[in-house]
């Protein structure tokens, strides 16, 4: 299978790429390295089944070619990290929302399958567990930059669901919690 991973030089993306290559897939990664690291994928560059493109997921011309060449898309690219989110809420929202819009719009043209990575932050100020997707969301005030990340990822989820409902793009949203491991 031909796989495209946006944000593939990040922690999750690099491990996913590694696993997919071991499974026998061909993997293309696009990452602007703003929060990912070339070192995470350096060991994969020797594989003829692996391709790395240092660019932004918002580059529509590039992404059109990459989506065309893929069977499945794992959209992991996002502005992440507490410092980045607090210091650059505009960049956070633009990167997250625009990147997802580009991926979904291009995937819609050929009904490519897309996994959109979201975050547990969308649950907001929940006081009870377990969390449920159907629960009402309680977020903090808009003057707190922290919530820009949660809101941008929630918009990503709404976009994924809308693309499924309106254009039948097969989408899956994964709300990731604190992911840890090597690298």
What residues are labeled active site? 149
Rounded to the nearest 5°, which phi and psi values hold at 91? -60, -40
Bridge partners of residue 2, in order along the sequence: 26
Can you tell me the distance from the alpha carbon of 45 to that of 59, in angstroms, rounded to the nearest whole number? Answer: 22
Cβ–Cβ under 8 Å, residues 28 and 2: yes
150 phi and psi angles, rounded to 5 deg: -60, -45
Q: What is the DSSP string of 114-134?
A: EEEEEEGGGGBS--SSS--TT
Phi, psi for residue 142 in degrees, rounded to 5: -65, -15
Nearest alpha-carbon partner for 146 in 76, 100, 88, 78: 88
DSSP 8-state symbol, 97 = I
* Residue that is written with structure tokens 């975050």 in the block: 119
């Amino acid at each position: 299978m031909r796989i495209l991973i946006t944000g593939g030089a990040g922690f999750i993306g690099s491990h996913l790429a590694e696993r997919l290559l071991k499974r026998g897939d061909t993997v293309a990664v696009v990452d602007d390295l703003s929060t990912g690291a070339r070192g995470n994928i350096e060991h994969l560059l020797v594989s003829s089944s692996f391709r790395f493109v240092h660019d932004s997921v918002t580059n529509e011309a590039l992404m059109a070619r990459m989506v065309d060449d893929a069977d499945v898309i794992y959209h992991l690219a996002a502005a992440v990290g507490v410092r980045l989110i607090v210091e650059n809420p505009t960049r956070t929202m633009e990167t997250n929302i625009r990147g997802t819009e580009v991926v979904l719009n291009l995937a819609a043209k050929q009904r490519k399958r897309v996994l959109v990575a979201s975050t547990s932050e969308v649950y907001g100020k929940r006081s009870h567990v377990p969390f449920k997707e159907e629960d009402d969301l309680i977020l903090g005030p808009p003057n707190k930059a922290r919530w820009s990340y949660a809101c941008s990822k929630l918009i990503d989820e709404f976009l994924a669901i809308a693309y499924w409902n309106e254009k039948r793009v097969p989408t899956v949203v994964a709300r990731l919690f604190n992911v840890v491991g090597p690298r």
